Amino acid sequence: MVPTALIDFADPSDSGAPRLRHAFGTPRALLVAREPAQVRAVLDAVQAAAEGGAWCIGALRYEAAPAFDAALQTHPADGPLAWFAIHDEALPWPGAEPPPQDAPTLNWHTLPGRAQFDAALATIHQAIALGDYYQVNYTAQTVASLQGGGAQSVRALFAALQRAQPGGYAAYLDMGDEQVLSVSPELFFDWHSGPGGGEAGHILTRPMKGTAPRGATPEQDAAHATALHASPKERAENVMIVDLLRNDLSRIAEPFSVRVPRLFHTEALPAVWQMTSDVRARTRPGTPLSEVFAALFPCGSVTGAPKVRAMQAIHALEPGPRGIYCGAIGVVRPDDRGGVRATFNVPIRTVVLRDGQARCGIGSGITSGATADAEWNEWRHKRAFVERASAPFDLLETLALVDGQFRHRAEHLARLQGAAAHFNLSFDAAAVQASLQALADSHPTGAWRVRLLLDGRGQPRAEAFALQPTPEPVRLQLARRPLAEAHGEFVRYKTTRRAHYAALAPATPGVFDTLLRNEAGEITETTFGSIAMLLDGRWVTPPLACGLLPGVGRAVALREGRLTEAVVRVHDVPRVQAWAFVNSLRGWLAAELVP
């Protein structure tokens, strides 16, 4: 069976219950709204089908908002406003994932240029100063051409997206003309209707507002989380939306039942820390699903506050429809209380495939305290999930094998295991050890450069190449421009995705490697090794916080006391008394910096 839908939702109650993880085959019926006047009727029909025992899987576009309130302004929709597939049963999750190499390679067009971005933020700040609104969620669509796009490759892309953004509220929908691949970490709402409509229901919303990047080290990572939790700007952004959700919920809630049991909770995602808050209420007896949507849709976290004015600003700032992005994706099913249970995500971190094109929206909430630099970087961090999934890659370790013995074997395997955990890949230590041992047994003498790879399914393989001595001193050349992704995960972890390094590889004959710097002008590393500098009478190397790979040779030199960490900037280069290239494969090599 080729599934037409997949749902992989966390338990919103945080009770430790298993994830809601099911596949769905050919639906027995489709419920579709193409005009605003049809949306409520579709939602009423969905609820009736679920009350009759069906599982209903579907989505609403952001542009469905005027169906609930004509004052909520949007662009014309580019597809059905509401779409639900009706299934008689939920099937087990498919056992075998498609091979990662079956996923299509996507080269994403860049977001709007920095000048356009800065102009939009200036417009928002001016309107905030005039009192037009408090916050606007400003977004843009990135696009990529899709080659192929058959069912197997689309499933493989969804699996890659889930590895890149695990957990949360993931959904795959094949809607015929388009396929939706959502790995959203954000819950829109989880609603239990009252039994038979005669008793109060209860609802949980969990808006996500407030973002910080993950750190390069455990210490920096913890510091980023602490700073996010304490940030007045991020707290203000979060509480604005919490207040909006409290007001929205009051429209369907029993009197005095709206409460906020958890505020400013930080959650670790692969590329960013996010701040969430819980808003709960008891819904009035007889409240239908259509009224839940009428009260809440679109989620305030993707509009701003106040909602009507913020959506007017979005309409003016953004050139076209958002589509499924920032709408809602979810499942409506029978619950064990005799009513229905509806669980929907907010479709951020979502890719839509249509007409040979992939689209992905990225955005952030803009308040008076927002700066263009910080918001631009936030967009870059949020985009990391789709870039990680857009081309297959292997994890990589490069080891020296000398006369049948691996140099720093334990350190390399520990780093590989850490990378596997970060990228959500399985790591079988015994299989990795066996792969290395088989290679050592077949190369008992001589010096060899060994490439140990771990693919997207966690399968290891090892390759050996003759290692020639390196004449010293090696010649280094300063990079012509900063390494743009110095703080990205494909710098902090060693993989076969190395285009960012290859773009700065030396082109001058006789130059061994390129000395890299970040956008702040801090020296970081070389394209395939660590750097050591004799400065003021001591050998130093840049700290990981500057944006560099935690090299094994570097770690050994630090542990032995041969190196200490220090920030060195480009303007400090003339003061450097001596240079060395350091890595586990070649050891410590004397170096010189050439023009």
Collapse the DSSP code of 586 into the 3-class scheme (helix H, G, I; strand E, B; otherwise coil) and give the result. coil
From residue 340, how far is each of 45, 188, 240, 299 by CA, in Å? Answer: 13, 17, 30, 21
From residue 94, how far is each of 97, 102, 149, 331 by CA, in Å? Answer: 7, 16, 19, 18
Catalytic: 186?
Answer: yes
Residue 405, judged by CB atoms within 10 A of its CB (0-12, 13-18, 19+), counts as: exposed
Residue 595, judged by CB atoms within 10 A of its CB (0-12, 13-18, 19+), counts as: exposed
From residue 362, how far is each of 154, 280, 349, 367, 386 by CA, in Å? Answer: 21, 27, 8, 17, 10
Are 346 and 184 spatial neighbours (Cβ–Cβ below 8 Å)?
yes
Distance (Å, whole) CA 439 – CA 444: 9
Rounded to an integer, what is the distance from CA 387 to the centroid of its chain?
Answer: 9
From residue 172, how far is each of 132, 350, 508 by CA, in Å? Answer: 38, 10, 48
Distance (Å, whole) CA 579 – CA 572: 13
Strands 201-205 and 272-283: antiparallel
Partner residues linked to 21 by β-bridges: 8
Catalytic: 209?
Answer: yes
Closest CA to 239 of 346, 369, 127: 369
Sole residue written with tokens 């605003």:
36
Closest CA to 185 of 360, 388, 347, 363: 347
Strands 187-192 and 201-205: antiparallel
Sole residue written with tokens 């009513």:
339
Return the amino acid letter for 207: P
* Catalytic hit among 63, 178, 186, 318: 186
- What DSSP line would sit under 323-387, residue for residue? TTTTSEEEEEEE-TTSSEEEEEE---SEEEEETTEEEEEEEEEE-TT--HHHHHHHHHHHHHHHH
Are 207 and 278 spatial neighbours (Cβ–Cβ below 8 Å)?
no
Partner residues linked to 205 by β-bridges: 189, 279
Distance (Å, whole) CA 535 – CA 542: 12
- What DSSP line would sit under 81-142, residue for residue? SEEEEEES-PEEPPSSPPPGGGSPP--PPPPSPHHHHHHHHHHHHHHHHTTS-SEEEEEEEE
* Catalytic hit among 51, 89, 97, 209: 209
131's CB contacts (< 8 A; 6+ apart) are none
Distance (Å, whole) CA 189 – CA 228: 24
From residue 580, how far is each of 491, 513, 534 by CA, in Å? Answer: 20, 12, 8
Sole residue written with tokens 């952030």:
364
From residue 98, how far is each of 159, 174, 461 by CA, in Å? Answer: 8, 17, 19
Catalytic residue positions, numbered: 186, 209
